[in-house]
Structure 1
């Protein structure tokens, strides 16, 4: 097979046709490259904590989880108060399950296991809720 008939993968996000993370970032940020390059080069050169740099970066990209941004992304179907209450209920349930493991199956009480179980259960519940809310918005 000659070179003219070979299939080729071309990345349209870069004039060379080669994929670079920077070109993907530029495509996703939807900013003219000169603007983004200048601002972000200055930002990443600043002497600040990573948290401060990331917060500033998110502000510049309008990606802070403000009420408006969360609403735009269909993620405000749950009030923070309900989330905290739901997490508390989940933790109580995980403590109860751990207690039953100890009492009925001669298990060992493990606070870290309770924490991880509650964390996973809460995350799965929120994920399910966010998926449901975003589907309802469509």
Structure 2
């Protein structure tokens, strides 16, 4: 009913059963269903599993609903929410379109103190890459399923406390991608944390300065090097902007892989997106090694250009129906993947 709210069968059910959930004359069946899914501490499972996927932002409350990350912004930034003059605003009402594009526009009931100013910077960094999609309605994503689709099986496993074993399916998907085997093998090592980062080498008794060679501010673990390093984040940000997708991705390898470009929806397009993910992993590792062993600089723009070329060359060589030029691929990757 969330995903097909305007269809005839949804309107029929609401007309028959939904007569105000809190009113005594509401259907017992409807009240029991509401209680099961929303009305008690144990009944929060559906709310926790269903997240909003933003289109134009016309139906999603900016502060209350979980539309970016795993928590609502009013929970993450409570001091800002308390002084917001836009507590009930939808996402699309929190900014304006201009000739320069989309920009956020916050209003406060009182001047911000120092703590709130710092939180505002964090909030702006979190949402800076998000842009509403004009003409695209908001929808829902079922988080327990890797493709965002609700199923009775995933709901049962969530309710029973079972954790779906994604490993086999994830690696089966990885090895089915249209990319060179050495690139897939490197990604496989990243996913199982067997890549030779400084942290992993230290664990094996090879004593090194464990600082990340790119940012020099954190230890070089697998997840940091490939997903959370601020230098590497610029590459992922460029990839998202290239595909026109803006979301907050997990900082762990398996979560990042499974949710990469997830908003695109179609499995066929997502498989092409995962080839791009492989290319990013390969290029980051090559760039890191150039810094460590050849004393070169890590250039996010150059890495991004190389990712585009690598992914295109792999698809060109591995997929018969991929007949697009490099210019077409760089100009509109989604359209190229739809034609595969």
**TM-score class, shorter:** 0.3 to 0.5
Q: Which has the higher contact order (CA 8 A, sep 6+)?
A: 1
Give the helix-richer structure, 1 or 2: 1
Give the strand-richer structure, 1 or 2: 2
TM-score (norm. length: structure 2):
0.19
